[in-house]
Structure 1
Amino acid sequence: MKNMLRQIISIFCVLCLCVACGTDDPILGEPTPEQPSPLPEEKVIGTTEKGSSQLVMLGYEDNVIGEGVLKPEGLESVLYIKDKKIVGESYSFAVCDAVKRLDAMPAFSTLSDWKEWGTVTEETVYWIRYTAEKEYTYIKLRIAYIDGNRVGVEYLVSSREAIVNVNANQAVEGKEYVTDYSIPHLNPDNYYVEHTVSVNNKNVLNYALEWDATAKHAAWVAFVFDETTRKNSVNRTEAWDVDPQLPKDMQTNNDHHRNDGFDRGHLCASEDRVYAGTANRQTFYYSNMSPQFNSFNGGFWAAFENRVRSWGRRSFDKLYVTKGGALNQLLVNYTGEKKGNDGVFPQTDAEGRTIHGLACPKYYYMAVLAEKNGSFQAIGFWIEHRDDYGYEYGDKIPVDVMQKYAVSIDKLEQETGIDFFCNLPDAIESKVESAYDVNDWVW
C-alpha cells in the first residue's frame, strides 16, 4: 500500500512539473507557441587583412537613403547599394576573380575591366577606384554576407596615386575652360576662342573652337551636355553674325557663303544649344559654319547630330562632344550635279576651296566622350561629305547604317591629326580611345 502511494505521488509531481514548464510532452519537452525559439546566430564579417574596417550596409532588398552607406575617409562621395549593386559617384569597380580575402588581391594595375558598379554577391572581392581631379584613391572591398536588407562588408583604403597626364592642355590666363575634357590638345598655329554664357550668375562654357585662319574654317568645335546645357528652353534664333572674338582680319561673314551652292552648315548645331537665348545666338556666328551639301547638312549628318544630342540629354551625367570637318582632307576639284538651296551648283577648286575661298572638308567627324558615375566611354564617327546618301531632312536612318560609320577615337586621331580628350587622365584616355562598343550606347 505504501509503495502504491509513493508511485501515485511521483506521477502527480511529474505532471505538475510538466504543467509548470509549459510542455505537453514530458518526454520530448517541445516548447509551446508561447515560448520563443532561440535567436539566430549573429553573422560575422571577419577580418582578412590587418587594418581593415567592417560595416553593415543597408539597401539590398529595399533602397535606404541617408544611412547604411560607406564613406571612405577623405573622399567626398559615398558608396551605396541600389538594385543589388554597389554604386557611387566618381567610383569604378574591378572584380577580383577566385579571390576571397583582401590580403590575397592582385595589384589593381593588373586589372583592366573597370565598371561603374559592382554586383553584390557573397564572398566577392573588388578593387574600387575613386577619381578626383588630380588623384586616384584605391579601395579594397569584400562582401562578407547578405542578410535580408543588410550587407556586411570589409574594406580598406589601400593607396592613392597621382593622376599623370603628359599631353594635357596647360592652363591659360583668361581661357577658363582650356582644361575641360571636351577640348582637344591646342594647336599653337590656330586661334583659340571660348564662347561663354552667364546662367544664374554662373559662367558656363557654351562652346569653344579653334580657328584655322588659312582655311577660313574652324579646326574643331567643342562643347558639353550637362545639367545646365542639356535643357531645351528656347527656340532657334537665326541670329547670323560675325564672331566678335576673332580678330577682324580672321572674321568670315555671309559674303563668304553667298551663292556658292553650299549650306551654311552649323558645326555646333543650333539645337545643341537651346538652354538660353544667348547660347543659341552664339551658334550663328560664321566661325561656326562649314560649307555643306544641303542633303548632308539637313539629312545624313543631322541624323548623327540628333543621336548624339539624345545621349547628351538623356543617357549620361555629362557628354563631351568635339566635332568638325577634317581640314587635312578637303573636297578637291568638285562640281556638283545637284543645285543647292540658292540655285547654284556647288564647286570646289584644286585646293578644296569654295568660290569664296572657304575650305570644304571631304570628311566630317564627331568625337564623343560620355561620363556616368565617374566612369567613361567614348565613340567616334567618320563620315564622308557626299550628297547621295538618299536621306533628307527629318529622315530616320536605320541603326545598322549609322553604326557602320562608328570608329574609335584613336582612328579619328589618325585621320584628323587632332589629339582628342587630351585632358583626361592618361590611363582613362588610353582605354576609352583605343576601342568602342556600339552596345554601350542607346540607339
Structure 2
Amino acid sequence: MNIKVFSKWLIVLAISLPIVSCNQGKGKEKYSSVNETQQSGNSKEIGNTQPNQANEIDQVSDNGERYEIPALREKSGEIILHRRGYTVSYNPKTLIPNWVAWHLSASHTDGPYKRGGIQFHEDDDIPEPRVNTYDYIQSGYDRGHMCPAGDNKWDKEAMEQSFLMTNICPQAHSLNVGSWNSIEQHCRKWANQYGDLYIVCGPILYRQTHKTIGQHKVTVPEAFFKVIMRLGKNPQAVGVIFRNDDSRHEWGDYVNSVDQVERITGYDFFPALPDNIENKIEAKADFDQWPR
C-alpha cells in the first residue's frame, strides 16, 4: 500500500474512531480495575507518576520507571493484570485486551524455554465469561499473541503466561505470520542492539459494530497498533498500524508517529517520560533511526 494512500486511511480512521469503554464486572481478588489499582497506592509501581526532568533532551536512562505502561483511564472498567513478562489492560466487554505492555531487555530476547507443548488457556484471574481456545475453532482467525511467546523464552512462567487468552486477539492469519511476526522479530533485534525497548500493542476498534467469533462472542479488531520506544542517548519512538486482514504489504509502509497512534486509539503512551522527551520523540516517525 502506498504510504500516501495509507495516510488518508488513517485520517478517516482517526475521525471515525469511537473510544470503547466498559463497566467493571464482578470477579476474584486476583485482578483489579484501574480505580482499585490507583486507590491501593500502587500507581508508582505501574508507572503512573512522572520522573524528574532529564538534564538533556538527548539522554534519558532507565531509572526503574515502568515507562511501558500507558496512562490508566479512570472509570473505563479496564482490568489491570500484572504478569511475569507483561502487563495487560483487559476489557471485559470486548473480551480482548485494550493493550498489552512490556519491557523487552536484551537478556529477555532469548532463553531455554520454548513454546512447544504449551496450550492456549483461559485466564482464571478475570470474571466470567472467560474466552477459551474453542472460541477460535473454525473462526477463520488465528489466536494472535499481543506480547509474543518469543519475547518470553527467558522464564518458564513468563512463557506459560503468554498463552493466557487475555493476551490474545483474533488475528488474520496472513497478518499473524507475516507483518506482525516480522516486527516482533525486529523488536528482538533492536533490544539486542540498544539494550532495552518499551513496547505497547493492542487492537483498534473503529466501527460502530464489530464482528465477533465463538460462543462467547469475542470481538474481532479492525486493526492493530504497536508503539516502540528506546531510551539512552538519542531516544526514539515509532508506531505502526496494520489492518486486520489478509492483505500483504511491507510493514514499513505502516509506520506512524506515536502521536498519530495516540490520536487514533485514544491512549496516552509513555506518560512516565519527562514531558520534554515525550513530546519530542512522539511527534516524529523517523524510521531511519531503526536499522533493519
* Fold agreement, TM-score > 0.5: yes
Q: Which structure has the higher relative contact order (CA within 8 Å, separation 6+)?
A: 2
Q: Structure 2 CA distance, aligned partners of 1:280 and 1:223? A: 13
Seq. identity, % = 25
Matches within 5 A, 1:150-229: 172-173=40-41, 177-179=45-47, 180-188=66-74, 189=76, 190-196=78-84, 206-229=85-108
1:387-406 map, 5 Å: 387-389=246-248, 401-406=250-255
Runs (5+) with no aligned partner, structure 2: 1-36, 48-65
| Contact 2:67 2:271 (8 Å CA) reproduced | yes
Paired residue secondary structure (2:235): strand
Contact kept? 2:210, 2:220, Cα under 8 Å:
no
> What does residue range 226-375 of structure 1 map to in structure 2 within 5 Å?
226-237=105-116, 238-247=118-127, 249-312=128-191, 314-326=192-204, 328-330=205-207, 350-356=209-215, 357-373=217-233, 375=234
* 1:81-106 CA-partner distances (Å, limit 9, x unpaired): xxxxxxxxxxxxxxxxxxxxxxxxxx
Quote the offset at 1:258 in angstroms. Answer: 2.5
Query: CA, structure 1 residues 311+177, in 2 after alignment: closer, same or farther (shift >3 Å)?
Result: farther
- Please give the alpha-carbon distance, in whole angstroms, between the structure 2 residues aligned to 1:281 and 1:173: 29
1:259 Cα deviation after fit: 2.4
Match runs of 1:402-421 below 5 Å? 402-421=251-270
Tell me the distance in 1 between the aligned counterparts of 2:193 and 2:38: 30
CA–CA distance in structure 2, aligned partners of residues 183 and 251 of structure 1? 24
Max Rg structure: 1
**Structure 1 pair 408–282 and aligned structure 2 pair: CA distance change class (3 A):** same
1:192 maps to a residue whose letter is I
Stretches of structure 1 lacking an aligned partner (at least 5 in a row): 1-168, 197-205, 333-349, 391-400
d(CA) in 2 for partners of 1:172 and 1:434? 34
Alignment RMSD (CA, Å): 2.2
Distance 1:417 1:309 in 2: 27
1:315 alignment partner, SS class: helix
SS of the residue 1:275 aligns to: coil
TM-score, normalised by the number of residues in structure 2: 0.74
1:386 aligns with 245
Residue-by-residue CA offset, 1:75-132 (whole Å, 9 max, x unaligned)? xxxxxxxxxxxxxxxxxxxxxxxxxxxxxxxxxxxxxxxxxxxxxxxxxxxxxxxxxx
Measure, in 1, the Cα distance between the counterparts of 2:153 and 2:40.
28
Q: Larger % of strand: which?
A: 1
Greater displacement, 169-178 / 428-437: 169-178
1: CA distance, partners of 2:149 / 2:257: 26
Q: Larger % of helix: which?
A: 2
Q: Which residue of 1 aligns with 2:27?
A: none
Cα distance in structure 2, aligned partners of 1:383 and 1:210: 20
Number of residue pairs the alignment of both structures matches: 234
For normalisation by structure 1, the TM-score amounts to 0.50
Equivalences for residues 4-83 of structure 1 within 5 A: none
